[in-house]
Structure 1
Amino acid sequence: MRVIKTTAARTCAICERTLLQGEHALRFSPDGHRFVDVCPLCPDIALDYGWVREGVSVSPTLQQLPRRRRQKSLWQTLLGAREERVEPVVSEPTLRRLGDEEMALVEAAELFNQTQFRRTVAGVAKALGEPRVSIVPLSGVNSEMVLTFAWEISWYQYRVSPEAPQPVRVAERGQDIADLALSYQEWNATATEDGRVVPSIERL
């Protein structure tokens, strides 16, 4: 009988990105009892949450004290803060001439660009190169959109629901672009180096 060794996929507890094979992960404890994996892009955010890095001893007295809020890290400022002013994906003159379908693409991109998921895309792109990107509406009466980021050996999908309490959430992930439905392979957007989505709309 042939034995095949399998390795369980690991994900970052902060950005939920699947760690690449051989990628070094840091270990943090959110509650002082268990440890979780944190990718190399997210340790500052883990510290902001008050998580303790593995190997760092913290006395019970210090654990009970209220944690002083740290200043926002560069990653948080650029990618994660909702109050941060994010550069619009299209200019005001272009917005005025867009139809409903194009406006839906812009809105989905703007909502995604305000989340920490940009860091996931930027991190994977550093290893695998620029992704192919699509923004397509889901069939039905709601206004949900699906954002897909695809490389040859990995892909991520996010659902964007403008009216939901959490407008952007992870939907699915995969390792083979061939597993993606053709409806999601309408590459009508691009991703910048920092993971920001820009729809492919003709500019004025």
Structure 2
Amino acid sequence: MPPLDLSVDELLTTTRAVRKRLDLTRPVDREVIKECLAIATQAPTGRNRQHWDFVFVTDPHRRAALADLYRAGLTSPREAASGGELVNRGSAQGWGRIADGAQHLFEHLHEVPVLLVPCVRVGDRRELDWPVRRANIYGSIFPAVWQFMLAARSRGLGTVWTTPHLQYEREAARLLGIPYDTVVQTALIPVAHSIGTDFRPGPRVAADEVAHWDRW
């Protein structure tokens, strides 16, 4: 599949969280996924070594079971979400649309042709208890995932970062054969052809509002 004719800036500013515009009827060619993965492997890592793996779930039964864990993470979470006291500095415009898209994804996640679970290998899960080690662990996977999402966008695919299934990470590990004690799942990312490719930059705060020079 030839990449879309997007400038670098257009690619970076129009790679959106795609929920309602995921094409649930069109298969995704494995070769396209491999192209995106090859680009992801070139991402910088937080520990100067590639300690991460991508698990692509295409089997309908496993997709359905993973989608059920995602839904359980939203409806019966084991851990309360934090950060509710933080003030959202972005515009309230569009939140209704986001909620509508989230509900659509909740109902149709099992129909998405590819579900990606990015993982990081660790020596021991207790590494997550140390802030610096935790930063290095997640710093190894986040750039690669974002690079995959950019590559997917450039090829007409839509993606969205989700985390609710991590409420049931152990069950997901059992479902997918992931060694729970030494491999940390970081997200669940639906991957599908997007319905249309005409995405635009989203509403964000002005750069000056988030910039601090020399001190907070």
TM over 0.5: no
User: Could you say which structure has the greater relative contact order, defined with CA pairs below 8 angstroms and 6 or more residues apart?
Assistant: 2
TM-score, normalising length: structure 1: 0.29
